[in-house]
Amino acid sequence: MDLHDNATYKGSSSGTQGSYPGLTYVDNHSRLDRIHPLVKLVLLFSFSVTVFAVFSIPGQGFLFGLLLVSYALAGLSGTFFLRKLRFIFVFGFFIFLVQALAVKEGVLLWHLSWGPVYLSLWSEGLQGGLKMMMRFINIVGSSYLFVATTDPNKLAYALMQVGLPYRFGFALITALRFIPVFHLELEQVRNAQMAKGIELEGLSPRNLLRAVRYLFVPLVISALSRVDNLTISMEGRAFGLYPVRTYMSSQTLSTKDKLAILVTPLFFLFLYFIFP
């Protein structure tokens, strides 16, 4: 059974790629798109480990600069980056704010006393908040870049061809494909319920309970229906009958790809020693 042959996934992928591009592969034929999926996976892993290993603010800033350059190579402009990932900057700012106001160590930089309210900003809290915020932005931004520039089919093929059991590979691609499908169906259910006059906006407990009843129950029923269709399709094509499967396209590693897999961790290890 080939992943490309599944009609359900072909329809859902093409239909939702434009509606929810924040969590789907963006095929714009950029330089990063042509890199082997395993090389990009090693890049993501090495970058993430370096983000957690580097403690200095200049080091985190340098990694963020590399991330912006990677977005440019991927053909994703800065406007696209800010538009799709603006939530991580907002959440990162709250992380910075909590850390900066909670830590009371170092040199006192600013304080405000207003009746019973006393706020202060210390040097250690400021530096710690900046580090945590930049780490969060670098991790989420790099993960999104990996998803946006890596075809899930090719990633699953590459992992299976290097030894991952194809059942696990199919589970991986199923999870990646169902995220935008569920988001689209949630929007459709929400619009349908609001067209019936059901009020779903607001954060009151009553509206939250109504949202669970009128949104998530139909969504769960739809998801179970899709699972049944997928199960029938897999059984009809004898999925899992043989221990080894064949592939329509081969994701072989070239000599350059193998060299890149070896050099990439060394490069980020070098960055770790430069920015301790």
Encode pLDDT of 68-90 as tens digits.
888 888 887 666 667 777 788 88
HEC readout, 63-100: HHHHHHHHHHHCCCCHHHHHHHCHHHHHHHHHHHHHHH
9 vs 177: CA distance, rounded Å? 7
Cα(28)–Cα(195) distance, rounded to whole angstroms?
Answer: 36
pLDDT computed for residue 48 by the predictor:
94
Q: What is the total count of domains within the chain?
A: 2
Nearest to 73 by CA among 34, 18, 38, 20: 34
| 59 and 140 inside one domain | yes
| Same domain (yes/no): 125, 35 | yes
In a domain, 31, yes or no: yes
On the question of pLDDT at 248 being above 80, the answer is: no
Question: Is 259 a domain residue?
Answer: yes
In a domain, 158, yes or no: no
Instruction: State the pTM of this model.
Output: 0.72
Is residue 32 domain-shared with residue 64, that is, in the same domain?
yes
* 103 & 175 share domain: no
Of 57, 64, 36, give the one whose Cα is nearest residue 140: 64
In a domain, 157, yes or no: no
Residue 168 and residue 141 share a domain? no
Which residues, 6+ apart, have CB-to-CB distance to 155 below 8 Å?
A: 37, 41, 172, 173
* 226 in a structural domain: yes
In this structure, the answer to whether residues 58 and 122 fall within a common structural domain is yes
Exposure on the CB side of residue 240, measured as CA atoms within 13 A: 10
What mean pLDDT value characterizes the chain?
Answer: 79
Kindly tell me if the per-residue pLDDT of 115 is higher than 70: no
Q: Which domain holds residue 55?
A: 26-150+250-276
The predicted pLDDT at position 204 comes to 66
Residues 213 and 108 in one domain: no
Same domain, 103 and 172: no
Q: Is 143 found in the same domain as 36?
A: yes
In a domain, 103, yes or no: yes
